[in-house]
Structure 1
Amino acid sequence: MRGITVGEQKKTLRGADVGIPPRQLDFRLNEEMPRWLYAGNATATLFLVVLSGAFPPGEDFFVQSVNRFKHRVTDPTLRAQVAGFTGQEVIHSREHDRLNDVFRSRDIDVDVPEKAIALALRLLDLLPARQRLACTAQMEHLTALLAEELLSHEDFRTRIHDDLTELWIWHALEELEHKSVSYEVYETIGNSRRERVLAEVLVDATIIPAALVSWIWLVLAEGVWRRPRDIRDGVRMLFGPGGFVGRIIPRVGVFRKPDFHPDRHDTTALEAEWRERLFGPDGTLRDQLRRRA
């Protein structure tokens, strides 16, 4: 857990005090953006549509899973981190709802992945609360890995259309800022490696198929299946060696290790770099930031 000073513990802490500030942002989504927003490739763009559609129900599931055990958290730092995590996730959901409305305005059926992921999450909702939290920690591990790739590799960022780059970069930064919160809460109530292994199996059996089937459905619905070169290039950019998703696959399984903790892989320098680039004196999102005092 990332620590704070003794002096800071004397006041009621907020997310901003522990490095997880909920940032009220006003993204200016340009409805005149081109239809294919990832390197001009339809297949890869539709994968981003799936991700964006997954976030509103996914973020809600994460928040509920963590807050189900909020009463068990006595450490003031972790309580503040939970508050920051909750605030950030709620804003992520709101901004992706806005982006999803842009997709809907173009008749890209983002409701397909949103409903498919929501159905998969309802299946996970049938699990005991501890197991749901373990699943949340596993999915937060996945999103943190993707976030790190996006922030670490310029070629991934430059493939996203300029009008959307900052939204995805901001989201990635905050995923890293709160990457350990759900796991810390899980450790508070008892960390079971068996539950973690089962969480990976359950996510692989529900969320991943829902996302992949939605992606294939969109590729078919958009007529991309008639353009095999687009499909080949999109799959290579995402899942090939050095691809956006392909690069994280070897690291997914560390969640099962007995000594796993999200902070064992240090991303604090990367986070600091992007906080400065986005919200520093010359930050590209400084003018859009409406952070509360």
Structure 2
Amino acid sequence: MKKTAQPGIEARKNLDFGLDANTPKYWHSNDPFKTRLHDALQSTFPEGERYFIACVRVFNDRIEDPKLQHEVKEFIHQEAQHGMAHTKYNQLLAQQGMPMKRLLAFHKDKTQKDQKRFSPEFNLALTAAFEHFTALLADAYFSNKETTAGMDPKMKALFAWHAIEEMEHRSVAFNVMKSIAKVGYFKRSCAMVYATWMVMYFMFSFADNMLEADGFSKWQRRKMFFKNLNWMYGYKGILSSFTPSLLRYFKPSFHPEEIPVIHNYPDWVKAYDESGNPHKACEALIAAAH
């Protein structure tokens, strides 16, 4: 396993994305399915981030390495900021008539049950698996211009910031899992299978619930799904594009840092450091994309 250069972790706080009631209802290409699929995915982030933080914190007292201690601290700060930002957007979805109270309660209940019935080690392995998944979304969405072409600029900036910071802390839970919790290959592989199923389940089921709340019939929703199969799973599909990197997790010697960060990562960081503006940083990221 050969590691690549890993950027430092920086928790950027209180970012303003300007998301309000004027944000387009169907902000991705004016397409209900594409929009609600992303709305569904991001809706799970606040509770997911709290779960990740809790699962890593269990092992805090056993961490002696100062570098890893610092990384865990910054990881927690970043995840907390992500949760707050996506909570604000979930509130906007509720104002649109989305059944957020019911959906988020269901997700919270499922997450809390998993946290209780699984061992601390397996919960940490799940966290590392989810972190690998979300870090790969950065490359899937922001390494080229085409993927995000139809997105509303405000939502694009939100996802870009989240993706950038996911790459920065992508190794933290994995390193705690390996060096502190001593989780073996079989357990971490099982966790990845379960985590992948969970992401797909919540993303598709919540999206379907949201589209139903939008007034689309079951037949219309199924037509949307099949119409977008190529966009999701075709050549360069939004989900199929990062499947090879996702599968690398099952290599016994795998480490997240063997996958390079996206080539335009420094462009986002430079623009943000100069301006403090996530929108300008996102513009720089897209400008440097393929």
The verdict on a shared fold, with TM-score over 0.5 as the criterion, is yes
Post-superposition shift, 1:153?
1.9
Equivalent positions of 1:48-67 (< 5 A) are 48-67=38-57
Percent identical among aligned pairs is 25
Note the residue ranges of structure 2 that are not aligned, 5 or more in a row.
282-290
- Structure 1 gaps of 5+ residues are 5-17, 289-293
Of 212, 222, 245 in structure 1, the residue corresponding to residue 214 of structure 2 is: 222
Structure with more relative contact order (C-alpha pairs < 8 Å, separation 6 or more): 2
1:195 aligns to what? 187
- SS of aligned partner of 1:156: coil
1:102 equivalent in alignment to 2:92: yes
The residue type equivalent to 1:114 in the other structure is L
Structure 1 residue 3, shift from structure 2 partner: 9.2
1:79-122 CA-to-partner distances (Å, cap 9, x unmatched) read 11101100000000000001111111111223454233323322
Q: Does 1:118 align with 2:118?
A: no
Q: 2:286 maps to what in 1?
A: none
Question: Alignment partner of 1:83: what SS?
Answer: helix
2: CA distance, partners of 1:234 / 1:285: 30
| Separation of aligned partners in 1, 2:162 and 2:156 | 10
Contact 2:211–2:221 (8 Å) recurs in 1? no
Rounded to whole Å, the distance in 1 between the matches of 2:253 and 2:153 is: 40
Quote the offset at 1:129 in angstroms: 0.1
* Aligned: 1:281 with 2:274: yes
Q: Partner of 2:284 in structure 1?
A: none
Which region of structure 1 is more displaced relative to structure 2, 184-193 or 211-220?
A: 211-220
**Once superposed, what is the RMSD of the aligned Cα atoms?**
2.5
Matched residues, number: 274
**SS of aligned partner of 1:149:** helix
TM-score computed with the length of structure 2 as normaliser: 0.85
- What TM-score results when the alignment is normalised by the length of structure 1? 0.84
Moved >6 Å (runs of 4+): 1-4
Alignment of 1:87-98 (within 5 A): 87-98=77-88
Of the candidates 19, 22, 29, which is equivalent to residue 8 of structure 2?
A: 19
**Structure 2 partner of 1:267:** 261
- Out of 180, 204, 220, the position equivalent to 2:171 is 180
CA pair 90-106 structure 1, distance change in 2 beyond 3 A: same
Give the deviation of 1:284 after TM superposition. 4.3
1:164 equivalent to 2:155? Answer yes
Inter-partner Cα distance in structure 2 for 1:174 and 1:113: 26
CA distance in 2, matches of 1:50, 1:268: 25
